[in-house]
Amino acid sequence: MAELVPATGAHLLQIQHESFAIWNDGLDFPQYGRFWEAQRRTAWGGSHLDRVALVEDGTVTSSAKRYDLSARVEGRIRRLLGIGAVFTSPSRRGRGGARRLLEAILEEAVTEGYEYAMLFSEIDTAFYEQLNFVPVPLLESRLVVEREGGAPAVLVRAGDDRDIPAIAEMSAKRAEGARLALDRTEDWIRYGIAKRRLHSGLGAAGLREVEFLVTEEGHQAVAYLVSTIYHGQWFLEEAGDRDPSGARLGAMLQVMLARTPHLDAPEIRAWLPQGFVPPQVTRTDEHATGGAMMIRPLRDRTLPLPPLDAHQVVYWRNDYF
Ligand SMILES: CC(C)(COP(=O)(O)OP(=O)(O)OC[C@H]1O[C@@H](n2cnc3c(N)ncnc32)[C@H](O)[C@@H]1OP(=O)(O)O)[C@@H](O)C(=O)NCCC(=O)NCCS
């Protein structure tokens, strides 16, 4: 007998033991377990994130994480199920377990009223294409920041919880022009930042650093960024600017670089929306992101998305699941 159940207790422990080798991301085993628990304890995670297992004859065959999300698709907000960490117990691979798990998840999602499902494929996309997922182009690029003239005169401070509403507003504004963008609620934004900080805090000291910075005007955040530093490389995980030109974000990057004038500029990378290039920044070395984003409609009456161009999609790496 096969059933789809929440992955808890012994089932969860089995999944964590078996998946640790490929997804530990620099954490040791106890921290790997804590990282998941802590995400579930955030305001967003407690009500929008879970893990399900396909149990067959009393044993977990396959499992996955589910993210209860919304996206702006062609101008309308739609419920979207994010699927992550699809995993089959090594001794049971190649026998259709992952396929049965995904079919069960998708069927349940239809019943629950989801209109789209989305995932990031770490394997050849052909497997998910058989389940009617189509790839969405996403580009990663390198940002070269103009450093002449030293630090510009903008005040940059650490971001905090009171900045989140302004950040949600900036995200919604940026999403307006896109054909596909995540609907970034305040709790989702908090979850994304908390997840980065947890990952950094649970890992080895100094391995991953996270910065959440804002620049404000009239006591309100008008530009912000969340960046991580890993092995000397910076990643701009998400950012926003009320100024459509992005000039404040560019100035913030210049301020960050001016803190270490004696060092060579680090490599900075981002999944920057196509229309969002600060005047102080040149983007180079553009290539498809590592994990291919894929989406499919779930209901007959939901039209499949016509092919999308990368410039029609807004998706930050902090929203990767
Ligand atoms: C990918 C994975 C979930 C597939 O589970 P499974 O239960 O063996 O999958 P199914 O039996 O339903 O389907 C097998 C198909 O998966 C696809 N597949 C499995 N591993 C793959 C890989 N590394 N690259 C590309 N396709 C792969 C193939 O199309 C395969 O078909 P084949 O057996 O005819 O070659 C499993 O191999 C796994 O847990 N891998 C480690 C975790 C991982 O990479 N997960 C994917 C995250 S996106």
Q: 18 and 90 in contact (C-beta within 8 Å)?
A: yes
Report helix, strand or coil for 178.
coil
Nearest CA to ligand 1 atom 46: 86
**Does 312 fall in a domain?**
no
Report helix, strand or coil for 212.
strand
Based on the fold, state whether residues 164 and 300 are members of the same structural domain. Answer: no
Report helix, strand or coil for 115.
coil
CA of 95 to the centre of ligand 1 (A): 10
**Does 104 fall in a domain?**
yes
| Structure-model confidence comparison of residues 298 and 303, the more confident one | 298
**Does 151 fall in a domain?**
yes
Asked if pLDDT for residue 247 goes beyond 80, the answer is yes
Based on the fold, state whether residues 298 and 236 are members of the same structural domain. Answer: no
pLDDT tens string 248-260 = 999 999 999 998 8
Residue 148: which pLDDT band, with cuts at 50, 70 and 90? confident
The CATH number of whichever domain residue 179 belongs to comes to 3.40.630.30
Based on the fold, state whether residues 109 and 149 are members of the same structural domain. Answer: no
Terminal CA-CA length for the chain: 30
**Does 316 fall in a domain?**
no
To which H or E segment does residue 279 belong? none
pLDDT tens string 193-246 = 999 999 999 999 989 999 999 999 999 999 999 999 999 899 999 999 999 999
Based on the fold, state whether residues 110 and 175 are members of the same structural domain. Answer: no
Nearest CA to ligand 1 atom 23: 123
Look at residue 131 in the predicted model and tell me its pLDDT: 96
* 161 in contact with ligand 1, CB cutoff 6 A: no
pLDDT average, residue stretch 261-273: 90
Beta pairing class for 139-145 and 268-270: antiparallel
Angle between helices 29-40 and 9-23 (to 10 degrees): 120
153: exposed, middle or buried (Cβ count in 10 Å: 0-12, 13-18, 19+) = exposed
Based on the fold, state whether residues 260 and 166 are members of the same structural domain. Answer: yes
pLDDT average, residue stretch 48-64: 97
The dihedral sign for the CA sequence 176, 182, 183, 188: negative
Number of domains comprising the chain: 2
* 121 in contact with ligand 1, CB cutoff 6 A: yes
Q: What percent of the chain has pLDDT over 90?
A: 89
Based on the fold, state whether residues 165 and 220 are members of the same structural domain. Answer: yes
Based on the fold, state whether residues 27 and 73 are members of the same structural domain. Answer: yes
* 88 in contact with ligand 1, CB cutoff 6 A: yes
Nearest CA to ligand 1 atom 31: 94
Residue 64: which pLDDT band, with cuts at 50, 70 and 90? very high
**Does 313 fall in a domain?**
no
Report helix, strand or coil for 236.
strand
Q: Which 8-state DSSP code applies to residue 21?
A: H
Residue whose tokens read 């001794």: 91
CA of 216 to the centre of ligand 1 (A): 47
> Tokens standing for 30?
């106890």
Asked if pLDDT for residue 312 goes beyond 70, the answer is yes
Length of the chain: 321
Nearest CA to ligand 1 atom 10: 96
CA of 297 to the centre of ligand 1 (A): 22
Alpha-carbon distance 292 to 269, whole Å? 17
* 87 in contact with ligand 1, CB cutoff 6 A: yes
Q: Which 8-state DSSP code applies to residue 90?
A: G
Look at residue 274 in the predicted model and tell me its pLDDT: 87
Look at residue 263 in the predicted model and tell me its pLDDT: 81
**Does 59 fall in a domain?**
yes
127, 130, 131: residue to mutate for ligand 1 pocket, most atoms within 8 A of CB: 127
Cβ-count burial 199-214 (b if 16+ within 10 Å, e if not): bbebbeeeebebbbbb
Residue whose tokens read 């161009």: 309
| Mean pLDDT over each residue of the chain, to the nearest integer | 95
Based on the fold, state whether residues 267 and 147 are members of the same structural domain. Answer: yes
Cβ-count burial 164-180 (b if 16+ within 10 Å, e if not): bebbbbbbeebbeebbb
Based on the fold, state whether residues 257 and 192 are members of the same structural domain. Answer: yes
Look at residue 284 in the predicted model and tell me its pLDDT: 96
Nearest CA to ligand 1 atom 13: 96
Nearest CA to ligand 1 atom 36: 88
**Does 279 fall in a domain?**
yes
CA of 97 to the centre of ligand 1 (A): 9
Residue 299: which pLDDT band, with cuts at 50, 70 and 90? confident
Residue whose tokens read 């507003």: 169
The dihedral sign for the CA sequence 120, 126, 132, 136: positive
pLDDT tens string 5-40 = 999 999 999 999 999 999 999 999 999 999 999 999
Based on the fold, state whether residues 72 and 201 are members of the same structural domain. Answer: no
Based on the fold, state whether residues 120 and 246 are members of the same structural domain. Answer: no
CA of 94 to the centre of ligand 1 (A): 7
Atom of ligand 1 nearest to the CA of 119: 48
Look at residue 301 in the predicted model and tell me its pLDDT: 66
Atom of ligand 1 nearest to the CA of 121: 48
**Does 264 fall in a domain?**
yes
Domain that holds residue 103: 2-136+291-307
Beta pairing class for 220-230 and 208-217: antiparallel
Nearest CA to ligand 1 atom 20: 123
Based on the fold, state whether residues 215 and 301 are members of the same structural domain. Answer: no
Look at residue 100 in the predicted model and tell me its pLDDT: 98
Asked if pLDDT for residue 303 goes beyond 80, the answer is no
